[in-house]
Chain A
Amino acid sequence: MVERDGNPAPPDAPQIGVDEWVATHDVRREGGHGPLARIRRELQRVPTPGFYFAFGAAAALLPAFTTNDYILRVGFDTLLYMLLALGLNITVGYAGLLDLGYVAFYGFGAYAYAMLASPQFGLHWNTLAIIVVATVATALLGFLVALPSRRLLGDYLAILTLFFGQLFVTVYQNGNHISVLGFTRGYDVTGGPNGIPNIDNYDILGLKITTVRGYYYTALIMFLLVLSVVYLIDRSRTGRAWRSLREDPLAAELMGIPVNRLKLIAFAMGAAIAGMTGTLFAALNTAVFSADFDVPSLIIVYAILILGGAGSLGGVIIGALVVNVSLEVLRTPGHATYIFYAALAIGLVAFVRPWRWFGIVVGGTIAFGYVVHAIVSAVWPDGVAGSPAIGGPLGSFLDSWQLYPANPRTIGNVAFVALVFVCMLLTLLHGWVRWVALIPTLYLASFVWENRLVAEPSITRLILIGVILIVLMNLRPQGLRGTARVEIV
């Protein structure tokens, strides 16, 4: 029991009307004892902008540590996703409007930049002017899309915006022979499937940005600016009104909040941020294609937002880091293998309680592996003919512990399907049976990983993203940093 000023008396001194549960409320709220809890308590005292500042400082230092353009490029992409998620956070997180056409606004901004700063129409406007024009135009487009749909409720708005997104891709994909009602010749407006290449770089008041490093900083500055704006809006009257609208539109309306207008503003603001981000995207890539703005990008942005927790600004940062960085890191089979085993280990540490079962599971799995390996190498020598993909100590341990059939494809596929079923079964078991069943499951998971998934890193990472979404949503439906209930009515 931590004795603190202003706390109620400890529960061993009985009070009238205060039972033990109430008396210990503060301690539970504070998160218990120990150094970890203390650190957390101290962290909670730091005002929220402090974290954003810390993030900005850390991110600004990244280029100092690396000269690797790839790492900077991933950092840039992550910042782009953060910007997109910030915009979506306004629409979905604050106002609770399910916008499934969001990346169309992103694409609209990118194409706007491409058309105004490329040989496509021979235009080369000033960068700042284009950013302003693109942002305002996207906001207007968002306003127009939201205008007829403001009376639509949740799912209908979702479907309408989904169509809008599809419509955008179709029109831009085929926009190289647009004729006015079929009377004129076809004009090439969007470059069609060939996109618009040779786009100018950002040129801010004479400062030409041509390197990845430059774009990284530009993205960071843009992100921090937008973040501060969104943070301030969140704290303002409008922000509070949005949240009340999200929690209960009916009650909000009764309180005299202009629901329709707020919805429109939220939609347009989200769109504007996406449009602005689009100009940055176009400038770095120096080419835009409609394929970049299709549903897969939408899913990634939603995954980031929801993973971090809709309605939370810090969640946006964490979500984008987790999703985009892990998507990139998982590309390389060597890294992926280490991460796979590390994730298994962390998962075991976090979830297997009490500790003695943790010991039994880990020890049991290792013993189980050696036994299986010994039996198989005696009975079926082909079953250990292969070797692991990674070297080092982990590799040599795996070689003597795991099975590596000579032709792993078919057996790996069967094992993969079996693993899916076994994992589902595992969630149905309880008590010690579950821990015992976990032992062969872990071995099977390692077998599938080593023999099938490692060979197909591109597919594996998408499967893992799917699994992470399912598991995380089941464990923590509000996302990592989300607190408020986000209800889409």
Chain B
Amino acid sequence: MNWNLFVTELVAGITHGSVYALIALGYSMVYGILKLLNFAHGDIYMVGAFIGFGLITVFGGPLGLTVNVVLLLFLMFLCAMIGGGLTGVMIERFAYRRLRNAPRIAPLITALGVSFFLENGAQLVLGAQFQSYNTFSWANNPIGLNGFTLPAQARISYAQVIVVVGTIVLMIALTWFVQRTQTGKAMRATSFDREAAAMMGIDVDRVIVVTFFIGSALAGAAGVFNCIAYQQVWPYMGFQAGLFAFTAAVVGGIGNLPGAVLGGLLIGLAESFATGYLSSTFQQAIVFAILIGVMLLRPSGLLGTAAVQKV
């Protein structure tokens, strides 16, 4: 057995899966509370990635960075998360809020509209060209080229380490927030039963805003993570990523946070192992086939509880 290939695919899968997991978390959180498939979520990820790119440009561009790299990374995450979060909150306030009690398909179509708007608005303002973080050639700090050597001569770059570690940190923070804080408890209660939660004195509107902020902030961070490892930023990047993350959320059991992470990793691994061992051409098809299989065996997702119909 070719262990080098195996470890390489494992590393690639986990890295890419982490990005999917972060986006999927936001999808899942919003779905848990509003039962809304927020198609614009992938575009918030794009907004986050562009905010990071803007910061790199402001600080001298990839080849002539004028600030410390660690500081820059920190700033990128901070701004992307805040910017992504605010975008999400605005979308909720101005596009979805009036539709809380409308037929379910209305907010779905609104979400498509928001997605259209963000993608094309971004192209109008930022241009259609592919831009690059170019992390591999950051001044004196090639975080993409250097890294550790793993068993079987496989290599992992610092960029990949940042992505995986960053994702784990964010997930721990999120778990703490949802499990331990007052707001987190309110979120869980709201997602369990919105009306009952409102009756218990929970400010449901506030909880929804917080959910959107956190979910979108995670997507913003995912945008920066993605581009640290894979560099490219362009206005339509959100669509494909959103689709895969959505898949991840459903496979793990939509509305279930550990499920979203599991789903994300699973998709990332399925993608890279399909490429490594089967065929890169039908990579997508293979991933989809696996997922359809999973869904047929466990319709509510791997960690989801069986759907209870409320009559």
Instruction: Indicate yes or no for A touching B, C-beta below 8 A.
Output: yes
Q: Does A54 contact B (CB under 8 A)?
A: no
Distance, CA A487 to CA B309, complexed state (A): 13
Contact A152/B295 with A174-B281, A469-B110 known, Cβ cut-off 8 Å: yes
Q: Is B120's CB under 8 angstroms from A463's CB?
A: yes
* Interface residue B229 (Cβ < 8 Å from any Cβ of A): no
B109:A170 contact, CB within 8 angstroms: no
A residues within 8 Å of B by Cβ?
92, 98, 148-149, 151-156, 158-160, 162-164, 166-167, 170-171, 174, 248, 250, 295, 299, 302-303, 306, 310, 413, 416-417, 420, 424, 427, 452-453, 456, 459-460, 462-463, 465-470, 473-474, 477-478, 485-489
Identify B124's interface contact among A162, A302, A413, CB under 8 A.
A413
A-B contact count (CB 8 A): 137
Docked complex Cα distance between A295 and B115 (Å): 13
B282 part of interface (Cβ distance < 8 Å): yes
Q: Indicate whether B112 reaches chain A with its CB closer than 8 angstroms.
A: yes
- Whether B90 and A467, one on each chain, are in contact in the complex, defined by CB atoms closer than 8 angstroms, is no
By the criterion CB–CB under 8 Å, are B291 and A306 in contact? Answer: no
In whole angstroms, what is the CA distance A60 to B150 when docked? 71
Option from B116, B121, B250, B285 in Cβ contact (under 8 Å) with A469 = B116
Given A469-B110, A474-B110, CB of A416 within 8 Å of CB of B124: yes
Taking a contact as CB atoms under 8 Å apart, the answer to whether B309 and A465 are in contact is no
Q: Which of B31, B103, B247 contacts A485 (CB 8 A)?
A: B103
Task: Report if A474-B120 is in contact (Cβ < 8 Å); known contacts: A156-B250, A170-B282, A467-B113.
Answer: no
Chain A positions within 8 Å of B291 at CB level:
163
State A313–B254 Cα separation when bound (angstroms). Answer: 34
- Chain A residues closer than 8 Å to B112, beta-carbon distance: 299, 302-303, 469
Given contacts A148-B296, A466-B114, contact A170 B284 (CB under 8 A): yes
In the complex, A167→B292 CA distance in Å?
Answer: 11
Give complex CA distance A427, B94 in Å: 8
Query: Cβ of A299: which chain B residues have Cβ within 8 Å of it?
Result: 112, 116
Q: Nearest CB to that of B114 among chain A residues?
A: A470
Contact B285 A167 (CB under 8 A): yes
Chain A residues whose CB sits within 8 angstroms of the CB of B77 once the complex forms: none
Q: Contacts A158-B37, A477-B106 hold; do A465 and B282 have CB atoms under 8 A apart?
A: no
- Cβ–Cβ < 8 Å partners of B121 in chain A: 416, 420, 463
List residues of chain B with CB under 8 Å of any chain A CB.
31, 37, 90, 93-95, 98-99, 102-107, 109-110, 112-121, 123-125, 239, 243, 246-247, 250, 254, 281-282, 284-285, 288-289, 291-292, 295-296, 299-300, 307, 309, 311
Contact B98 A474 (CB under 8 A): yes
Q: Is the CB of B105 within 8 A of A159?
A: no
> Which residue in A155, A424, A453, A473 is a CB contact (below 8 Å) of B106?
A473
* A452 and B124 contact, CB distance less than 8 A: yes
- Identify the closest chain A residue to B128 (Cβ): A459
Residue of A452, A465, A473 touching B99 (CB-CB under 8 A): A473
User: Are A478 and B106 neighbours in the complex by a CB distance under 8 Å?
Assistant: yes
Q: Are B115 and A466 in contact (CB under 8 A)?
A: yes
Instruction: Report Cα–Cα, A152/B298, bound state, in Å.
Output: 10
Q: How far is the CA of A326 from the CA of B117 in the complex (A)?
A: 17
- Determine whether the beta carbon of A310 is less than 8 Å from that of B105: yes
Return the chain B residue nearest A96 by Cβ.
B105
Q: Is the CB of A170 within 8 A of B285?
A: yes
B309 touches A153 (CB 8 A): yes
- Residues of chain B contacted by A156 (CB below 8 angstroms): 250, 295, 299-300, 307
Cα A424 to Cα B109 in complex, Å, equals: 19
* Chain B positions within 8 Å of A160 at CB level: 292, 295
Min distance, Cβ A371 to any Cβ of chain B, angstroms: 28
Once the chains bind, are A456 and B284 in contact (CB under 8 Å)?
Answer: no
